[in-house]
Structure formats: structure tokens, C-alpha cells
Structure 1
Amino acid sequence: MKKMLKTKNNLTNLCFSALVLIFVTLLSISCDSIVEVTDPDIVTPESLDNEAGLQTLRAGSLGDLAVAMSGSAAGHGATTGLIVMSGLMADEYDYSGTFPTRREADTRNLQDINFDMNRIYGNLHLARSGAETTIDLLANFGGDPEIESEMQSIVGFSYILFAETFCGGISFSKAPADGGDLIFGEPLSKQEMFTTAIDWFDQAMTNASGNDKLANVARVGKARALLGLGQIDDAANEVATVPTEFVYNIEHSDNSRRQENGIYIMTTVRRQFSIADGKGGNGLMYRSAMDLRVPWDGGTEFGQDDITLYYNQLKFNSSSAPVALASGIEARLIEAEAAANADDAGTVQDIHNGLRATMGLSDLDLTGISGDDLLLAHFAERAFWLFSTAHRQGDLRRLVDVHGMPASEVFPWGDYFKGGQYSANLKFPVPQSESNNPNYVGCLD
């Protein structure tokens, strides 16, 4: 993974030129990625234009996705990822550090020059661009359906993550594989991002023929996009064949600081993101529930800010701990959401109790629960299963946008525990660095 990052002109200005031209300000702030692409002697452009080079590009795209999602130990003070930052925007974490950009996420009062979000924005586009480049160059070698399928799913997930956590107005520019001029993308609405993701997942399923794991990655991804569009029954149908035991992980390693799991680094090592409990009045009781799905310890010392009691997550208990990107558990949760949306409490209860039995958890009793209460009961279960995997902010937004609940009843609201109040804003802005794109319009919504 790291070799790819040390190629300034690799991909014939494909993966990185898009970032350089669109996100000029990132050149000075992306400590763990952009400033390392200065040594073309490690992986030359010519060496990438072959079958072995394609594996390097594939690994680079997966590595960029890992950094965008989980963060890493690289960079000054380590690197934040979308998982912890979106957890702050929702109800999973309280910020127990001192960086103002992270406190902005904790209160949802974000500026479009936010350092952390600029970096995540760039890394997520790097993962997408690298995957698209790999797909384009495969044509030179007769194609490889399995690599194409995996990379198409990575592109699809990048669109989903932007749609769930950012406002509408994201542009997806492209650097052609032949080294031509950058093609500036047009701003897309949230709905357009979800729809585009579905197109990529459909392609991934076609190329995954015979490889059940890759097909299931695409099925879960497509269903997630369908949920975002409010097509809940279609989402449930999409994952009906995905086995519960299926999982596709974002991998981490202690081979290098960049490959380390940034969630572990930012929590256990640096004590900056503390597990919340009833955040902003509406947040779930992640600690008080004493639930095996959200293991934690702490409460006896302060976080990095020396004023906030620190509660450490134990779900990711090492720098090499993987993070699930798609799973069969998520497939069952999607089916449960369809049942909850249909006010079918019996099916919701059966699905959840089937999942809970796999961990020895006691049964839920949803007798007599209906309407919004049933949906909230389901979303609470979903939150414990998918804790700290970049789902919760998107889930809370879906409760508002698709299921019609007031934001003030599902997001943390009111007084902020360090002073001030939580903002009514529910999403990350398009970074100002995108204004280098002549099509830039800021947030559409």
C-alpha cells in the first residue's frame, strides 16, 4: 500500500493529479498522504502499466480507503478518519481532545476549511480515483473481472459515504488513464450520489460472477444506497441471499504507521474520542447498556483535554484490527428495517433475536411496539451492531429524510457539554478546497 503513495507521477497523473488540481490546499495539510508522493524512484509510472502494477494500484486504492475511513497513526498527531468524525456528528463519541476542528464535528458547527474533513475528503477521493484508474488500465490486459468487481464496489462505497455524511454538491472529477487533461466533475445531489453508487454496484455484481464474496459486497453496498433513496423494500430484497456470516473487511496492519487502525490510535492511544452515553439528550446509552457489541473501559482518568472523563472503546483493540465495510449482519438489519417500516413488529423481533442469539444476548420483546417507536427500537439495535463503522450519521439522517422524524428528536440537541449548543446542521460541508473546481457551488442543500 505504502509504495503507491510514493509515486508523484504514477497513474500518469491519475489518482493524485485529480487531488492536486482540485484540492490545492490539501498539499500543505495532508501529512500522511500527499506530502509523501515525492519519490518516483520507488514505483515508476512505467512499472504500473502492467499486470503486477495493477495489483499495486488496487492495494493503493484499498489503502486510501482504509485511511479515509479509519484514519491512521501517520501524520502529526495521527490522522482522523470518517468513522470517528462522523461518530462525533452523531451520538457515538464525545470529543475529549483539544483540536478545534474535531470539536467542530462534535457540535456540528463546521467550517468549510475544517482541516480534518479536508483530509478525509481528499483521501476518499483518492480511494475512488485509484479504483477507477485500476479499472481503466485493466482494459490494457484483457480485463480481470474479480479485480474490476472489487474496485467497482470501492467506487460505489465512496459515493455512498459522501452521500451519507456530506451535503449535496460533491463533484467527482476524473483524470483519464491516458494522461489527458483532468475532467472536472459536476456537483451531485445526495440522491444523485446514491443513484450513481447503485450503477457501480450493478457493474460489480456483473463482474463478480462466480465469486460470492465479491457479489455480496456489491449487494450490501447497493442495498445501502437504496436505503438512502428510501427504496427500503428493494433494499431488503437485494440482500435476501447474503449469508449472515459474510463479512468484507477494511484491513489494517502494524507494518507501517499509515496502515495502522486510526480508530485504535485516536481512542486507546491518544484518548481523543470517548464513547458517549446519552449524548445531547437523544443519544443512545452506549456505555450504560453494558452491551457486548460496544465493549469499553475507563472512566477513571481524563482524556487528552484533561477535563473530560475518558471512556475507551475496545471494539478495535489493536493497531491491526480490521473494520467491516459490508457484512451479512448488515444485510439482516436492512431486512429488519423493511419490516419496521411496514410496522411488522413480529418480523423485526425475529430478525433481531436471531442476530442477538449469535452473541448470547437476551431476546428483545417488541410486543405492542409500532410506528416510530418500532423504527427507533430497530435503529438502536442497528447502532449497537454497527457501532463505529461510519453508519450512524447516515442512519440518523435517514430517520429524518426518509422516515420523517424531527432532527431535534434523533440527533444530539440542546446544550453542549463543553459550553454552547449543538448545531441544527446534520452534515459535513463541501470543503472550500473544492472551489478550485470551476463547477464548484458549495452545498446544494
Structure 2
Amino acid sequence: MTPNTHHAAPRRPRAGVGPAVLLLLLTAGAACSGTVDKLLSVTTPSRLADEQFLVPQNAQLIVNSAVADFSCALNGYVVASGLSSGELADASQTASRWSFDRRDILPTDAQYATSSCTGLGVYTPISTARFSADQALSHLDTWTDAQVPNRQQLIARAALYAGFSYVLLGEGFCSAAVNLGPELQTAQVMDSAIARFTRAITVAQSLNDQTTLNAAYVGRARAKIDKGDKAGAAADAALVPVGFVLNTVADATVSRLSNRVFAENNSGAGGVTIAPAYRNLTVGGLPDPRVKVGDQNRLNSDQANRWFTQSKYTSLATPLPIASGIEAQLILAEATGGTQGVAILNSLRARSGIGLPALTAAEVADFQGTLYSERARELFLQGNHWFDVRRFNAPLVPAPGATYPAGGAIAKAGTYGSERCWPLPDVERAANPNLGS
């Protein structure tokens, strides 16, 4: 499979992805837009034309912009998926956000479909990040090493972030579409992710770029375990050092690069609170240091939910993990199971800074349930749990049909739904002639 798998005919950017984006590229952390295979043919007086920006001398900036797009998208995704997966509970008075928490997103809802990453949008920001990285990769493939310093390094980086963007599309949504192409199911989206991670691995190996290499191994292992390819996932995950981590770009002074979890949960009265299932977690009677949650002893801004805060991210400048050796070990434990899987989980519990007791006989007997719980704790608020709920077919908490919200002084109206993934938005169907309405 080539890095351009699922690319359709050249097109102009869809609304919500591009109209003013190229102009923003002149500032730090801005996004890029345009077509993957062909430059835009129409410009406006307020906009920098693609042919003026998509040139070899801007290659570094183009890739940096794709990385920034992904960082912003992941921040929004972590909070939105945290609400849907039961890590977080909405504590705002903004009704458009409640559907995340209530698990009843409709394809017509604008909040998840077209809002920015700072506004807890998910589909457009992730699609933008995917497009930016694929576009960078496409143009780098047409340029030469003589035209672009460190071209191979940039190719590996663009492929890496394209891969992670496809992972978020595949995990977060029930289906997806790419570049006006047909509707893709999760396994097909993961195939595209795997192709890009493989490209990153091949190039990173030639450069001896261990950071990109390890991150791509984690990403490919994640995409493979998502598809049910345990052997392939284990082979990749086993290659990653436990202490490895790749983080997002983070900047407290730039809203789109600020830590969205801290902004939503820890700043002011908080727009979200930590859900009850993640409060006061223990292991063998000991507090679990992987999920530190504090009680602020007051109500949130909705005057209904009590304000509980996380301490995993300590400021707006704290980056989010994109890929880590810890995640790789959890994938390896899942893929191998048995004695090796138990040993891996025990080792993670016993590591420095955690110091928790080994699995009990009951936990070993219910290894699948234990693995699900360990992943929920180790990867707390990192964007993994939403798809775990789906692929482990875990019970939804609160249960479907329960009054929303469960408890609290103010009823926000409605009942909890049964969604385990977000639907493909109607705005995608309306703009894509290859999709049914």
C-alpha cells in the first residue's frame, strides 16, 4: 500500500478545513491547506495562494504546521473522547457540548463536526491534521534532497503524523472519508495508518532516527491491535523501550497549542469534571498514582456537578503523550496474554514512581478485564479509552437510558445514549459526491 492510499481526485479544501488557513501559516503553529495532488486554481485577495507557499524552501514550515495541526486536534480529541468514554463529565452550561457526555451525537451536530479543536470540535480538526500531513508528504515526494535540506527526515515526520491522524479518525468515528473518497470502515482507515507508519519506519531506519522510529512502532502496533492483528502488534510493540515518549507541541501562550485538559478541567471553575469512576482509585488499598484526582470542594460552572480535577497535566504548557513505551508494553501484554502478559502488567505496576502490588489471583483469572482496567489507568486522559470502550465491548457508564446527568442539582435534560463511536457528520456527506446522503 502506498502512502497515498485512499487519495481521490484533486480537490479544493472543504469548508471548515481551509479558507483562511494558508494565511495563518505565516504565524507559529498555523495550519496549512490546499490539495494533495494539485495546487489550488482559485485564490482570493485575502489569501496566500498555494503556489506561493507550497514550495521546497517552505518544507520545514509545512511539516511543522502539520505537527501543530495534530497537536491541536489531539488536545480537543482527548477532552471530547474523555467525555464520551466516561473519563470526564461535562460541567458546563453549554448545551451543544452535552451530547459528547450523553453519548447521543447526531450527524447534524455542528459541535463535533465543524468546531475548532479549541472549541472541542473533532472531525474537522482531525481531518485538517490528516490532510496537512498527507499534503506535506505528497509534496516532499515530488521535491528532491537538493531542494530540501533534511528532506528524508521531513518525510518520516510527515508520514508519522499522518499515521496518527488516521488512527484518531479510525478510533473516534464509526466510519470516515478521505479526500472525497468512499466511506471507509475502521479497518480500512487503520490500513491507511499502517501504510504511513511503515513509510515512517523505513525512512527513520535509514536515518537512525530513534524518536521517529519508536513512535512509528507504537503507532503501527496500535493500529494493528485495533484491527485484531495481535502477532503484528506484538512484533512492533516489543521493539520500543519502556521509557520512550513522544509528546505534542505545547505552548501556554497559543490557545490551539495549550493543554486542553488543563484548560477545561483545572482552569477557573472548569468546563469538565473528572467522572466518578476515576475518583479515589486504589490498588490493593493503596492510592493509584497513575490517576491522581483532587476534590476542589465546590460545584462546577453548571452548579450541578462537583469539581474534581486531574493532576496528570499541571499547566497549559504541559504536553500530551502521543506515543509511549508504556502504551507499547500494554499492547504487548494484550497481544501475548498468558504468563508474559501478566508479567508485563506486574512490571508496569512495580516500576519506579508507581510501586503498586502485583496482580491478584482474581485479576489474573480475569486478565481481559484487568487489562482493560490497567489501560484505563495507565493511559488516563490520553485519548485511548474511547476506542477501548468500543473494542472491549465494555459496559457503558452511566448506562444507556439513565437520566442525564446522573445526579446533580440541575437536570440538563435527556438520557444517556448507547454510542461507542461518533457518526460520520452530515457535512462530510453533503460535500462528498461519493457518499450517500
1:88 to 77, 83, 94: 83
Q: Quick one: distance in 2 between partners of 1:318 and 1:39?
A: 39
Please list every run of 5 or more consecutive structure 2 residues that lacks an aligned counterpart in the other structure. 1-8, 22-28, 35-42, 116-121, 146-150
Q: Distance in 1 between matches of 2:126 and 2:51?
A: 25
Q: Does 1:439 align with 2:434?
A: yes
Residue 426 (structure 1) aligned to one of 417, 420, 427: 420
Counterpart CA distance in 1 for 2:279 and 2:380 is 9
Q: For residues 367-388 of structure 1, what are the alpha-carbon distances to aligned partners after superposition, in whole Å with 9 as ceiling and x for unaligned?
A: 25456x2111111111111111
Match of 1:333 among 307, 330, 334: 330
C-alpha distance after superposition, 1:87-124 (max 9, x if no partner): 11112001111222221111101122323311321111
2:99, 2:18 → 1: CA distance? 21
Residue 14 of structure 2: SS of its match in structure 1? helix
TM-score by length of 2: 0.80
Equivalent runs, 1:24-423 vs 2, <5 Å = 45=50, 48-70=53-75, 81-118=76-113, 119=115, 120-143=122-145, 144-168=151-175, 170-173=176-179, 184-209=180-205, 210-270=208-268, 271-278=270-277, 285-289=278-282, 290-340=287-337, 344=338, 346-356=339-349, 357-369=351-363, 373-400=366-393, 407=394, 409=395, 411-414=397-400, 415=402, 416=404, 417=406, 418=411, 420-423=414-417
What is the DSSP-based 3-state SS (H/G/I as helix, E as strand, rest coil) of the residue aligned with 1:258? helix
The answer as to whether partners of 2:259 and 2:318 remain within 8 angstroms in 1 is yes
Letter of the 1:333 partner, please give it: L
Number of residue pairs the alignment of both structures matches: 383
**Which amino acid counterpart does residue 177 of structure 2 have in structure 1?**
S
Q: What are the Cα deviations for residues 324-347 of structure 1, in whole angstroms up to 9, with x where unaligned?
A: 11011111011111233xxx1x43
Cα distance in 2, alignment partners of residues 33 and 16 from structure 1: 21
Call closer, same or farther: CA 1:108–1:292 in 2, change over 3 Å. Answer: same
How far residue 389 of structure 1 moved from its aligned partner, in angstroms, is 0.9
- Match of 1:404? none
One-letter amino acid of the structure 1 residue matched with residue 185 of structure 2: S
Q: Distance in 1 between matches of 2:157 and 2:10?
A: 17
8 A contact 2:159–2:196 mirrored in 1: yes
Residue identity matched to 1:438:
P
Unaligned runs of 5+ in 1: 1-13, 27-31, 71-80, 174-183, 279-284, 401-406
Runs ≥4 residues deviating over 6 A? 21-24, 36-44
Return the alpha-carbon distance in structure 2 between the equivalents of residues 68 and 16 of structure 1. Answer: 22
8 Å Cα contact 1:87-1:93 kept in structure 2 = yes
2:276 and 2:56 map into 1 onto residues whose CA distance is 50
In structure 2, the residue corresponding to 1:298 is in which secondary structure?
strand
Distance 2:197 2:426 in 1: 30
Kept after mapping to 2: 8 A contact 1:275/1:287 = no
Q: Describe the shift of the 1:19–1:313 C-alpha distance in structure 2 as closer, same or farther (beyond 3 A).
A: farther
Is residue 18 of structure 1 aligned with residue 13 of structure 2? yes
Partner of 2:3: none
SS in 2 for 1:424: coil
How far apart are 1:186 and its partner, in Å? 1.4
The answer (yes or no) to whether the contact 1:220–1:238 under 8 Å persists in 2 is: yes
Inter-partner Cα distance in structure 1 for 2:362 and 2:288:
24
* 1-structure distance, mates of 2:416, 2:59: 45
Which structure has more RCO (C-alpha within 8 Å, separation ≥ 6)?
1
Corresponding position of 1:176: none
Residue 251 of structure 1 contacts residue 321 of structure 1 at CA under 8 Å; is this kept in 2?
A: no
Deviates more, 1:348-357 or 1:85-94: 348-357
Q: Mark the CA change 1:45 to 1:194 in structure 2 (over 3 Å): closer, same or farther.
A: closer
CA distance in 1, matches of 2:197, 2:315: 31
* TM-score after normalising by structure 1: 0.79
Once the two structures are superposed, what CA deviation does each residue of 1:234-266 show, in whole Å capped at 9, x if it has no partner? 211211111011111112102322322222111
User: Matched residues in 2 for 1:108 and 1:370: separation?
Assistant: 32
